[in-house]
Amino acid sequence: MYDPEGVYTCHGPLIGVRQAADRAEVRALVQVAETATTPVVVVSDNRYTVDTASRIIRGDYACTEANQDLWERFKANRRGVQNVEWIKAHMTPEQALEKGFAEHDRKGNEEADRLAKKGAEDHGFTGAQIGKAKRELGLVRRVQEHLAKTYVKYLSCNQVTDYFKGYRRHKKTYERTKRIGRPPVDPASKGHEVKVEGTSQYCRNCGRVTRSKNPHTFWINNPCQALDLVESYKANGHRLDFGSKTWSCTRCGIEGRRMSRVQCEGGKRRGVSQRPAGGEPSTKRARLGGEFSQPPLGLGKRAV
């Protein structure tokens, strides 16, 4: 932490197992909040620290970050920090002027970086430990360079580019070939033999008829058991077939529930005259039987 007036300037090693740059930035901010006696403005080059601290100052932040213990300390002492501003790191005076940053803020950021490196050295690592860390850092650098070179070479290969062009074309014309989710239940598994006639569906086994908007659910929820009404049709001698909307008899032509009340006459429908093809129509008078076989006197044809 650097203060141009030298009041709050300090540095030191980061305490704890987790040694990360973001935690060190937050720890420096906590040091300012806990030691400032007058309202101060903090300038930091770490976006994570600036954004999180700004939300805490506004009062719309719940501490759920990895550095929660440090943020709780800052939240308890945030009154000493008036504002937290961001500055780009490692700029020249010309770049700072071009981007609109003050020169004293740029110099203060450089001094803070120098103190941060000095604080890291205060951990007191031995030469062997520092050498081991540098070797591991070099290994990581070489691996990253190898990955980058391989990636560039891979993208420059004509076979790779042609393959991905064809792959993208295939993805655009992709069509689903099978249903997703649980397969639907077949009405035949419930014993139904479902047929379609116009807007109606009927079962030849049980005699049920539906014009529902969701007929599949109707057949699944209703077991295939012969209806008493359809059995009464057959008991009266009717030969059943499905018409346009309901069951009908193929012999006498009667449709619907009337078949349960009327016996099938084997092709002769009641109230319909029969005549040979090409002959004259014959008229028949209704038979009342007994003394009422003739119409009473004084009554017109309408009474008959």
Low-confidence ranges of the chain (pLDDT < 50): 269-279, 281-304
pTM score: 0.46
pLDDT of residue 241: 85
The type of residue at 28 is A
pLDDT of residue 282: 47
Task: Say how far apart CA 215 and CA 192 lie, in whole Å.
Answer: 12
Per residue in 240-263, pLDDT (tens digit) is 888 878 888 888 888 888 888 888
- CATH code for the part of the protein at 21-121: 3.30.420
Structure tokens at 304: 């008959």
pLDDT of residue 272: 43
Collapsed DSSP state (helix, strand, coil) of residue 147: helix
Classify burial at 26, counting beta carbons within 10 Å of its beta carbon; exposed 0-12, middle 13-18, buried 19 or more. buried
pLDDT of residue 174: 58
> Of 263, 277, 214, which is closest to residue 235 (Cα–Cα)?
263
User: Which residues, 6 or more positions from 204, have their beta carbon under 8 angstroms from its beta carbon?
Assistant: 193, 195
